[in-house]
């Protein structure tokens, strides 16, 4: 840690940024780390990405939203203005918000921003490097947009484990419906499935017309301009609703280099599966002859391709010396409808590059993660949606999460009783599923083993706010104690969003050193909406002041709504 502060002092301008916290007589100042301020206006706009006019959510009039790009350890001050007609919260996915769940932007820890109001998020991207994204976290809004990329750059003093790329290219891929988030929400409330998406967007645009039968005329498509011979860092995010996507670039290798803030062992792939909520960096060299443009494809995974043909995103890679349009069929997807081991093996092959200098020293100090004793084991099981008290709900360990009226940390701070329970079970409950505000009482500085067991029928990805975790195991079947024998205790990758195959499990290790209350959720928007989430609350039993106090602009709601002073 000491070395880190020294680096930050050498490399950054001496700027002083102070946050004045209410309830604190002194000011907390983050010396030496520069800041970046932004203003984000969330509003609606009518666009027709798939040829059908619909209301989408734009950020500063952009769809997808603008890039947030800073160097590690910067302080970000982002004033979010809500010009939607309903509540908004923005989650900064993958940003760890050290000691600061007040800024995390999820409903369990933050009051929503009412329409017409604004909230200024203030947080530091502490000891992190890599590719992340922001998104609206409530009301199913991500299905209408409001998403944008975040890049946290290395400082010069921490070199990249590869040659500096000639450019960065952000690619947001995701399944898309021509119904907006309100209509989709209404379907879920009416106990319906959402059905097959209407397409896949790449950077907010519909498919290139690679086939005149399948793609209507007149759609705007994404065209990526590149120069021959150069190497670009493609940062690809699946920001969709529920569809796993296979990503590929015709005739080009994808050299996997980073995922969600950690450098991977660099490996070439021709196609790569990216699940909802996941982010990857690929180094792609423009080593082809440019006789034509090339297709960039994101196609639905684990589905019947002939039925799901239109659920395919197609963009164009255009060399500056290109001699013509891309023509002919798209590059082939993996052909494994009946055999998902290829995808599982690909996921397992993503390993950490142990010799690459990361953003952050090993949180366990001198211990290698594989040698640390596990303090707690949680098995978190997802089941398909069911009916609870007449509503369609989805559960984790038999509990469908209900957001607290008063956000958890706010309730703790102001001593609101009965707001939530810390009885989330460490094993799946048998018996009747229930709806509850049940969270995990975590062991501060414990080293937890969390097993996500997916007994749902769909592919899922799970995410934990506030942490990165080591992905130690992944397989089909039901996890047992013996499954530990297969764990990767040597070079498991660290990241924050991991896929869990239907009928399978994924095990992660996480060092619980971040005070606050942190969301654990499925990234599949419909399942999340139906209650597949919980929180883990961590309190430093020795020194309660290590967590940041509530910021001066904290918003109040629920039992504390009367304390809210701000009037727009």
Ligand X SMILES: *[C@@H]1O[C@H](CO)[C@@H](O)[C@H](O)[C@H]1NC(C)=O
Residues in the site for ligand X, rule: CB under 6 A? 71, 79, 118-120, 153-156, 159-161, 164, 211, 213-214, 251, 253, 255, 265-266, 268, 285, 287, 289, 291, 304, 306-307, 309, 329, 337, 353, 355-356, 367, 371-373, 422, 441, 443, 455, 478, 481, 503, 553, 555, 566
Q: Residue 276 or residue 439: which is nearer to ligand X going by CB?
A: 439
Q: Residue 48 or residue 455: which is nearer to ligand X going by CB?
A: 455
Q: Where are the alpha helices (DSSP H) in 316-461?
A: 341-348, 408-413
CA atoms within 13 A on the CB side of 322: 19
Q: How far is the CB of 502 from ligand X (least distance, A)?
A: 9
Which tokens belong to 406? 């008063």
Q: Residue 337 or residue 490: which is nearer to ligand X going by CB?
A: 337
Of 150, 130, 290, nearest to 226 by C-alpha is 290
Q: How far is the CB of 555 from ligand X (least distance, A)?
A: 6
Q: Residue 74 or residue 140: which is nearer to ligand X going by CB?
A: 74
**Whether 435 contacts 400, CB under 8 Å:** yes
Query: Got the DSSP string for 180-245?
Result: -HHHHHHHHHTT----S-SEEEETTB----S-TTTS-TT----EEEE-TT-EEEEEEEE-SSS--E
User: Residues 225, 227, 228, 231: is their CA dihedral positive or negative?
Assistant: negative
Q: Residue 85 or residue 339: which is nearer to ligand X going by CB?
A: 339
Q: How far is the CB of 381 from ligand X (least distance, A)?
A: 7
Give ∠ CA 498-506-540 in degrees, rounded to 5: 75
CA 280 to chain centre: 11
Q: How far is the CB of 47 from ligand X (least distance, A)?
A: 26
Q: Residue 133 or residue 302: which is nearer to ligand X going by CB?
A: 302
Q: How far is the CB of 159 from ligand X (least distance, A)?
A: 4
Q: Where are the alpha helices (DSSP H) in 304-414?
A: 341-348, 408-413
Q: How far is the CB of 478 from ligand X (least distance, A)?
A: 5
**Whether 224 contacts 247, CB under 8 Å:** no
CA-to-CA distance for 134 and 57, rounded, in angstroms? 13
Q: Residue 54 or residue 453: which is nearer to ligand X going by CB?
A: 453
CA distances to 117, 184, 197 from 309, in Å? 42, 22, 11
Q: How far is the CB of 527 from ligand X (least distance, A)?
A: 15
Cis amide bond preceding 156, omega within 30:
no
Q: Residue 69 or residue 182: which is nearer to ligand X going by CB?
A: 69
Write a three-state SS string for 99-132.
Answer: CCHHHCCCCCCCCCECCCCEEEEEEECCCCCEEE
Q: How far is the CB of 180 from ligand X (least distance, A)?
A: 27
Q: How far is the CB of 182 from ligand X (least distance, A)?
A: 25
The strand order across the sheet containing 75-82 reads: 54-59, 35-47, 75-82, 118-124
Of 536, 534, 560, 544, nearest to 416 by C-alpha is 560
Q: How far is the CB of 186 from ligand X (least distance, A)?
A: 29
Q: How far is the CB of 183 from ligand X (least distance, A)?
A: 27
CA-to-CA distance for 359 and 235, rounded, in angstroms? 17
**Whether 447 contacts 509, CB under 8 Å:** yes
User: Residues 91, 95, 96, 99: is their CA dihedral positive or negative?
Assistant: negative
CA-to-CA distance for 561 and 410, rounded, in angstroms? 11
Shortest-Cβ-distance residue relative to ligand X: 161
Q: How far is the CB of 127 from ligand X (least distance, A)?
A: 15
Q: Residue 220 or residue 422: which is nearer to ligand X going by CB?
A: 422
Q: Residue 16 or residue 214: which is nearer to ligand X going by CB?
A: 214
Q: Residue 151 or residue 184: which is nearer to ligand X going by CB?
A: 151
CA atoms within 13 A on the CB side of 64: 29
Q: Residue 53 or residue 328: which is nearer to ligand X going by CB?
A: 328
């Amino acid at each position: 840690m000491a070395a880190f502060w020294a680096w930050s002092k050498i490399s950054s301008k001496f700027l002083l940024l102070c946050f004045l916290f209410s309830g604190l007589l002194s000011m907390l100042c983050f010396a030496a780390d520069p800041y970046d301020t932004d203003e984000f206006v969330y509003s609606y706009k009518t666009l027709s990405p798939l040829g059908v006019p619909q209301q989408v959510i734009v950020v500063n009039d952009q769809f997808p939203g603008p890039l947030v790009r800073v160097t590690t350890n910067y302080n970000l001050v982002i004033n979010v203005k809500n010009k939607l007609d309903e509540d908004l919260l923005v989650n900064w996915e993958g940003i760890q918000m050290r000691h600061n769940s007040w800024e995390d932007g999820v409903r369990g820890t933050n009051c929503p921003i009412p329409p017409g109001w604004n909230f200024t998020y203030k947080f530091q991207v502490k000891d992190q490097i890599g590719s992340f994204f922001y998104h609206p976290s409530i009301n199913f809004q991500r299905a209408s947009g409001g998403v944008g990329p975040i890049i946290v750059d290395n400082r010069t003093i921490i070199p990249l484990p590869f040659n500096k790329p000639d450019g960065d290219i952000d690619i947001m891929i995701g399944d898309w419906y021509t119904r907006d988030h309100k209509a989709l929400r209404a379907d879920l409330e009416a106990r319906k499935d959402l059905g097959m998406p209407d397409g896949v967007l790449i950077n907010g645009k519909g498919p290139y017309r690679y086939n005149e039968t399948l793609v209507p005329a007149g759609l705007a498509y994404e065209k990526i301009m590149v120069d021959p011979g150069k190497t670009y860092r493609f940062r690809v995010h699946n920001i969709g609703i529920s569809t796993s996507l296979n990503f590929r670039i015709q005739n080009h290798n994808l050299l996997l280099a980073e995922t969600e803030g950690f450098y991977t062992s660099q490996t070439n792939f021709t196609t790569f599966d990216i699940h909802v909520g996941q982010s990857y960096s690929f180094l792609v060299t423009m080593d082809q002859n440019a006789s034509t443009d090339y297709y960039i494809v994101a196609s639905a995974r684990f589905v019947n391709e002939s039925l799901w043909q239109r659920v395919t995103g197609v963009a164009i890679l255009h060399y500056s010396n290109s001699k013509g349009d891309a023509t002919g069929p798209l590059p082939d997807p993996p052909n494994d409808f009946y055999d998902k081991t290829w995808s599982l093996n690909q996921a397992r092959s993503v390993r950490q590059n142990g010799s690459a200098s990361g953003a952050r020293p090993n949180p366990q100090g001198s211990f290698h993660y594989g040698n640390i004793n596990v303090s707690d084991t949680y098995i978190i099981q997802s089941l398909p949606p069911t009916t609870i008290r007449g509503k369609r709900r989805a559960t984790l360990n038999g509990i469908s999460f209900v957001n607290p009226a008063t956000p958890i940390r706010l309730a703790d701070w102001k001593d609101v009783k009965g707001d939530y329970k810390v009885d989330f079970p460490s094993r799946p409950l048998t018996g009747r599923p229930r709806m509850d505000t049940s969270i995990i009482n975590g062991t501060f500085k414990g080293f937890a083993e969390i097993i996500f067991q997916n007994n749902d029928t769909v592919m899922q990805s799970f995410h934990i706010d506030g942490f990165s975790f080591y992905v130690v195991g992944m397989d089909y079947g039901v996890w047992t104690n013996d499954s530990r024998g297969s764990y990767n205790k040597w070079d498991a990758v660290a990241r924050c969003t991991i896929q869990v195959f239907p009928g399978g499990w994924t095990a992660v290790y996480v060092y619980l050193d971040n005070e606050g209350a942190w969301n654990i959720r499925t990234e599949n928007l419909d399942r999340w909406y139906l209650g597949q989430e919980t929180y883990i609350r961590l309190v430093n039993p020795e020194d309660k002041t290590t967590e940041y106090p509530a910021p001066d602009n904290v918003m109040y709601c629920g039992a504390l709504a009367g304390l809210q002073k701000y009037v727009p």
